[in-house]
């Protein structure tokens, strides 16, 4: 006789609730830990991602017979030189705009005052000394902002120091990459060694292509933004276009955030609603091009992450780590998708994160070429 007792429905329900509560508690503690030690974690995360970007070049030097330490130093110093050159070039482009900042701020105050006076007259309100009032409010805002800036600087000193260690983290990841690989192979076991190697290679390939793709998109937008602003007659078109393009290191939201810069300039400093409307139309077009043509075909095709999870991930990353979280979330999601794809019982989650199942609705260069070809054939007829 089988004397084994089975849990009742009430006991099953209690166990389910208990398990769910433990899972939710673990998630909350994990997120709290990410927030509590973010100044320690995200420089390491950046070092991990940038090490993948420098890996192909470091490996090429090693194949040519350069010792690993020297190869890593060459890659890191070369990367720092490129970043420094980029910062200097951006500074030279933006400097003309920054030099006139005081004059532009005065113009913005005058234009804002004129708009408020016009609105007050329209509604029958009396507006006296509105310019002086706005100037005082702006000065107070700058003073408060300066105090907040000092507080932020004091609070983020540790973060600055941590990012100063970023080259060290990159060097260590590159130097110990073989050791890390052997560790993962031992964890996976002999039976899954080949699959683990393939997984690591895929992660490296996706990381390099994604980061390279983002940089390419930003450089393309340097020209698109600047040319577009020149066409609509915007003053300081190149500095504003370059500044707006830099926001595109943040996927999806970058174009909209960047568009606020020339929009604010056109509306407040130029005081030209028509020009501001042109800026809105321009950046709606650029947003469409970036989201539906550039990013999917240059970046999105490399990470294969659903836009839904990219957008929700950006929001979550911003809430947890701020701007660094928004910059890191896409490589993280790409890595997670690859891990899920190589774990049998996680395949459904890899499918959910990916773009599979929506291919026929996406806008791709191949589809655009087919449409263009059909259009040419119709014209010839």
Q: What confidence score (pLDDT) does residue 142 get?
A: 46
Distances in whole angstroms, Cα of residue 352 to Cα of each of 192, 204, 291, 297, 349 = 24, 22, 20, 20, 5
Give tens-digit pLDDT for 294-341. Answer: 877 777 566 778 878 888 888 888 888 888 888 888 888 888 888 888
Give tens-digit pLDDT for 241-282. Answer: 888 888 888 877 788 888 888 888 887 777 778 888 989 999
Q: Which residue has the tokens 């928004």?
A: 326
Q: How far apart are CA 103 and CA 108, in angstroms?
A: 9
Q: 0.75 cut: is pTM over it? A: no
8-12, 159-163, 262-266, range with the lowest pLDDT = 159-163
Q: What confidence score (pLDDT) does residue 153 get?
A: 43
Q: How far apart are CA 301 and CA 108, in angstroms?
A: 42
Evaluate if residue 154 carries a pLDDT over 70.
no
Residue, of 203 and 102, whose pLDDT is higher: 203
Question: If you average pLDDT over residues 353-375, what whole number do you get?
Answer: 65
Spatial CA neighbour of 41 closest among 331, 325, 335: 325
| Nearest-5° Cα angle at 38, 36 to 43 | 160
| 357 SS3 class | coil
pLDDT-derived band at 357 (thresholds 50, 70, 90) equals low
Q: What confidence score (pLDDT) does residue 324 get?
A: 82
Q: What confidence score (pLDDT) does residue 281 get?
A: 92
Residue, of 371 and 46, whose pLDDT is higher: 46
Q: What confidence score (pLDDT) does residue 227 get?
A: 92
- Among 90-94, 100-104, 193-197, the range with the most confident prediction by mean pLDDT is 193-197
Residue, of 298 and 237, whose pLDDT is higher: 237
Give tens-digit pLDDT for 205-225. Answer: 888 888 888 888 888 998 999
Q: How far apart are CA 335 and CA 350, in angstroms?
A: 10
Q: What confidence score (pLDDT) does residue 288 get?
A: 85
């Amino acid at each position: 006789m089988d004397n084994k007792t089975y849990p009742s429905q009430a006991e099953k329900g209690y166990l389910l609730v208990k398990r769910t509560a433990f899972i939710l508690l673990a998630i909350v503690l994990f997120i709290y830990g990410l927030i509590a030690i973010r100044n320690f974690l995200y420089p390491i995360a950046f070092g991990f991602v940038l090490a993948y970007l420098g890996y192909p070049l470091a490996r090429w030097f090693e194949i040519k017979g350069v010792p690993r330490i020297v190869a890593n130093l060459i890659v890191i110093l070369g990367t720092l030189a490129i970043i420094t050159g980029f910062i200097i070039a951006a500074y030279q482009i933006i400097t003309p705009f920054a030099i006139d900042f005081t004059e532009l701020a005065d113009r913005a105050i005058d234009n804002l005052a004129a708009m408020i006076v016009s609105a007050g007259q329209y509604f029958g309100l009396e507006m006296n000394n509105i310019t002086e009032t706005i100037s005082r409010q702006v000065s107070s805002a700058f003073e408060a902002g300066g105090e907040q800036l000092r507080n932020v600087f004091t609070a983020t000193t540790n973060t600055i120091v941590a990012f100063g260690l970023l080259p060290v983290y990159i060097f260590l990841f590159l130097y110990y990459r073989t050791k890390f690989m052997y560790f993962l192979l031992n964890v996976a076991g002999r039976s899954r060694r080949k699959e683990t190697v393939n997984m690591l290679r895929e992660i490296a390939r996706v990381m390099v292509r994604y980061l390279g793709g983002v940089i390419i998109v930003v450089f393309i937008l340097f020209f698109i933004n600047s040319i577009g602003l020149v066409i609509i007659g915007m003053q300081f078109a190149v500095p504003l276009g370059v500044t707006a393009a830099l926001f595109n290191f943040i996927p999806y939201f970058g174009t909209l955030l960047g568009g606020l810069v020339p929009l604010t300039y056109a509306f407040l400093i130029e005081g030209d609603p028509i020009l501001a409307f042109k800026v809105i139309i321009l950046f709606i077009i650029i947003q469409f091009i970036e989201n539906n043509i550039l990013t999917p075909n240059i970046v999105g095709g490399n990470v294969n992450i659903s836009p839904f999870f990219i957008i929700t991930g950006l929001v979550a990353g911003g809430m947890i780590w701020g701007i660094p979280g928004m910059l890191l979330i896409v490589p993280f999601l790409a890595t997670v998708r690859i891990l899920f794809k190589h774990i049998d019982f996680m395949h459904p989650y890899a499918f959910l994160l990916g773009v599979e199942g929506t291919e026929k609705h996406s806008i791709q260069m191949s589809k655009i070429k087919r449409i263009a070809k059909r259009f040419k054939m119709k014209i010839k007829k």
